[in-house]
Amino acid sequence: MRLKRKDILAIEELTKDEIELILSTAESFKEVSEREIKKVPTLRGRTIINLFYEPSTRTRTSFEIAAKRMSADAINISTSSSSVVKGETLKDTARNLEAMNPDCIVLRHPSSGAPEMLARLVRCSVINAGDGSHEHPSQALLDLLTVKERFGRIAGLKIAIAGDIAHSRVARSNIHGFAKLGAEVSIAGPPTMMPSEIEKMGCKMFYKVEDAIRDAHVIMVLRIQLERQKTGLFPTAREYSKLFALDSKKLEHAAKDVVILHPGPINRGIEISSDVADGKYSLILEQVKNGVAVRMALFYLLMGGSRE
Amino acid sequence: MNRLLIKGGRVIDPASGIDGLFDVYAVGGKIAAVKPYEPSAFSLQPNDWTVIDAAGLVICPGFIDMHTHLREPGYEYKETVQTGAMAAAAGGFTSVACMANTNPVNDNASVTRYILKKAQEEGIVNVFPVGAISSGLKGETLAEIGELKEAGCIAISDDGRPIVSSGLMRLALEYAKPFNLPVISHCEDAWLAIDGVMNEGFISTKLGLKGIPNAKEDIMVARDIALAELTGGRLHIAHISTKGAVQLVRNAKQNGLNVTAEVTPHHFTLTDEAVIGYNTNAKMNPPLRTKKDIDAIKTGLQDGTIDAIATDHAPQNSDEKDVEFDKAANGIVGLETALPLSLRLVAEGVMSFNTLIEKLSTNPAKLLGLDSKGSLKVGADADITIVDLNKEWVVDAKELKSKSRNTPFDGWKMKGRVVKTIVSGKVVYEE
């Protein structure tokens, strides 16, 4: 099986069937990471470039490990040590990388839409590893996989996403993903962190976390970027943590079998209390584990099998 | 002395109330006569007359663009006075008012004279510089507005930037009065949505791009109208884009204030949906808005709230557009697509072709105090645009006369095209 598309740029453009194919493929790859020799020859001879314009530990490492476990050659470029600091444009960087004939470029970029631009410029596949406030499709896919494994389904579940929705690519990808698979999505956060007309995306908006997580099966807590405090979106970290952080008291409003997800890195005590982050509900490390499987699946579905 | 006869076309001149088959005679760069069509006139072509057969075509006073960026001096890689004038001529514009945000800024008479000298050397279309309101466009102190007027500026504007200080805007509206210079205001509140790159709404939310709410424009239009009332000054709102701003201008006019407004063809043609796909040729300031704003703009054109259609022709080099959306330069080229886009409003029934000529020629001439332009009355400058209303064509960005190619209308099917552009009785563009 291969996806009938060159690139993975956004959950918004994937169909329900495509998402389900990616998830089932990822499930089948999980076992590879449990082996003593954690490698399959599937993508031998393929070249994957991880091009990261933003700092990242989890996502970059996850893509790199996924590539290596598939026997692809993975090259990491972080822009702090590349020609980007000399002022090279994305267009020129793209053309130069293209000249080395890679099979896939994984792009993390602070500008929304940069992966779409890159995909237009190169013949190889492009995977969006997070662009600005737009989307982070592989994160949503690993979240979907984690939830599906726990509940055996997505359809009919209640999902709550809490935090800075306006600036979150994770939120956008997850709203699209969970809605496409039939879950009911609620979002919560202060009005200053809610983007315009967000409900049209297929979710319900609440200002109080307690209201959004009522009877929720899944609560996804987003990272609060502390630099945002400078722009005044919330008065102080102290007030945010008091009113909007997920703690064990607010958690009482959720369903009994609720699980907690967080895309990381966590600000302990700001958006989530430590006891909740480390508690029995938390699937945070399961997410990280599934991240590798989902990224192996994406590589396989874009590059595996015979070329068309 | 050049002698020109344009024969047998449908002459539309709102200023003199003419619409019918007439022959237009121009001698020495001025309109000499407009006579009822006489098929036998000059049937034996005399040597010293140029005769243009305009059967089936429309003859109207040359278009006047109140809002053009010619980019010279300083940004000649985007556009020059020459290439901008060629683009103007190809779009049927016989006169353009060019904005002051060049480098150096047109905030003193020497820059004004430089632009005018360039324009005279090229001799394509009339170029009327717009002087800066503030020295260096810094928004701190007034530019030498009196000298700018003496040197040939026909309006003042810090276009591209708002006048942040209400105090300075008050001074500008007051000080410009004795010079009869309209103050053209680029209206945006400087502190609201500082890093916005497109209209704020569902599309910006979906694309993860920072939004610019309508209020950013409305707040400043309201402030400037209040200052126009305070000072009795002459305020012109540039590139109006919001429903709220249209209503504010309408109210101001009803209250008898000296306030006028212009709209660009792209702001009544495209919505923020054009940005989908991160199309940097749909990035401009003010941003493309929504259907409800377009509807309000159309009503504003109909009821006279919006006086003029202006292009905000903003050439940008491809290197400034082929980048990430949030890093891309604002603006699009507009001179060569203004007429066919405006004709779509005529086809839709928003306004008559005669009203369109008022918005493209008669009114801009009045607003800028160009007494000898914007009409085909005897004695007026023989600036004439000849249009084939039925000509169908496809926009090809590569074929534009402008030095830049930044248009969102590449590949669009258009109906109606400029066939000839005549400045001072001389043909400067032929299709």
Mean pLDDT of chain A: 93
Q: Measured between beta carbons, which residues in chain A are less than 8 angstroms from residue B211?
A: 195-196
Cα–Cα dist A138/B376, whole Å:
65
User: Cβ of A113 and B278 within 8 Å?
Assistant: yes
| A13 close contact with B: CB closer than 8 A | no
Of A276-285, B172-181, B325-334, the poorest mean pLDDT is in A276-285
Residue B45: its pLDDT value, please?
62
Q: Does residue A308 register a pLDDT over 50?
A: no
Please name the member of B205, B208, B210 whose beta carbon is closest to the beta carbon of A197.
B205
User: Cβ of A112 and B323 within 8 Å?
Assistant: no
Q: What residue in B sits closest to A131 (Cα-Cα)?
A: B208
Of B121-125, B196-200, B427-431, the poorest mean pLDDT is in B121-125
User: Cβ of A112 and B208 within 8 Å?
Assistant: yes
Cα–Cα dist A292/A290, whole Å:
5
Handedness of CA A80, A84, A90, A91 (dihedral sign): negative
Active-site annotation holder among B312, B381, B383, B388: B312
| Domain architecture of chain B: domains with CATH | 3-59+380-430 (2.30.40.10), 63-367 (3.20.20.140)
Task: Read off the pLDDT of residues A23-77 as tens digits, 9 standing for 90 and up.
Answer: 999 999 999 888 999 999 999 999 999 999 998 888 999 999 999 999 999 999 9
What ipTM goes with this model?
0.94
Residue B48: its pLDDT value, please?
83
A85 — pLDDT class (breaks 50, 70, 90) = confident
Task: Read off the pLDDT of residues A92-149 as tens digits, 9 standing for 90 and up.
Answer: 999 999 999 999 999 999 999 999 999 999 999 999 999 999 999 999 999 999 999 9
Using a 10 angstrom Cβ sphere, with 0-12 exposed, 13-18 middle and 19 or more buried, the burial of residue A2 is middle
Element (H, E) at A212: helix A209-212
User: Cβ of A196 and B202 within 8 Å?
Assistant: yes
Closest-CA distance, A264 to chain B, in angstroms, reads 20
- CA B428 → CA A119, B58, B304, B378, B418, distances in Å? 43, 17, 32, 21, 12
- Mean pLDDT, rounded, for B274-302: 98
A80 — pLDDT class (breaks 50, 70, 90) = confident
Residue A174: its pLDDT value, please?
98
The closest alpha carbon to B260, from B240, B283, B281, belongs to B240
Q: Does residue B248 register a pLDDT over 50?
A: yes
Token pair 């020799």 in the structure block, residue: A37
User: Cβ of A169 and B208 within 8 Å?
Assistant: yes
The closest alpha carbon to B139, from B160, B162, B155, belongs to B162
Task: Read off the pLDDT of residues B117-132 as tens digits, 9 standing for 90 and up.
Answer: 999 998 899 999 999 9
Active site residue B396: no
**Every domain of chain A and the residues it spans:** 11-136+288-303, 137-287
Of A105-114, A263-272, A285-294, B84-93, the poorest mean pLDDT is in A263-272
- Mean pLDDT, rounded, for B303-320: 98
**Top-tier CATH class for A11-136+288-303:** alpha beta
Task: Read off the pLDDT of residues A159-176 as tens digits, 9 standing for 90 and up.
Answer: 999 999 999 999 999 999
Chain B residues in contact with chain A using a Cβ-Cβ cutoff of 8 Å: 200-202, 204-211, 213, 277-278, 319, 322-327
Please name the member of B204, B325, B326 whose beta carbon is closest to the beta carbon of A196.
B204
For residues B329 and B316, the answer to whether their CB atoms sit within 8 Å is: yes
* CA B69 to chain CA centroid, nearest Å: 10
User: Cβ of A12 and B323 within 8 Å?
Assistant: no
Mutation test of the interface with chain B: which of A84, A197, A201, A231, choosing the one with the most B Cβ atoms within 10 A? A197
**Top-tier CATH class for A137-287:** alpha beta
Mutation test of the interface with chain A: which of B206, B216, B273, choosing the one with the most A Cβ atoms within 10 A? B206
Task: Read off the pLDDT of residues B272-286 as tens digits, 9 standing for 90 and up.
Answer: 999 999 999 999 999
Closest-CA distance, A201 to chain B, in angstroms, reads 8
Q: Does residue B144 register a pLDDT over 80?
A: yes
Residue A307: its pLDDT value, please?
43
According to DSSP, the residues that pair with B259 across neighbouring strands are: B235
Residue A225: its pLDDT value, please?
77
Q: Does residue B160 register a pLDDT over 90?
A: yes
Cα–Cα dist A1/A18, whole Å:
11
Q: Does residue A306 register a pLDDT over 70?
A: no
| A138 close contact with B: CB closer than 8 A | no
- Mean pLDDT, rounded, for B395-412: 97
User: Cβ of B325 and A196 within 8 Å?
Assistant: no
Q: Residues with Cβ < 8 Å from B264, sequence gap 6 or more?
A: B67, B239, B309, B310, B311, B312, B334
- Mean pLDDT, rounded, for B160-179: 98
Mean pLDDT of chain B: 97
Residue A229: its pLDDT value, please?
67
Residue A106: its pLDDT value, please?
98
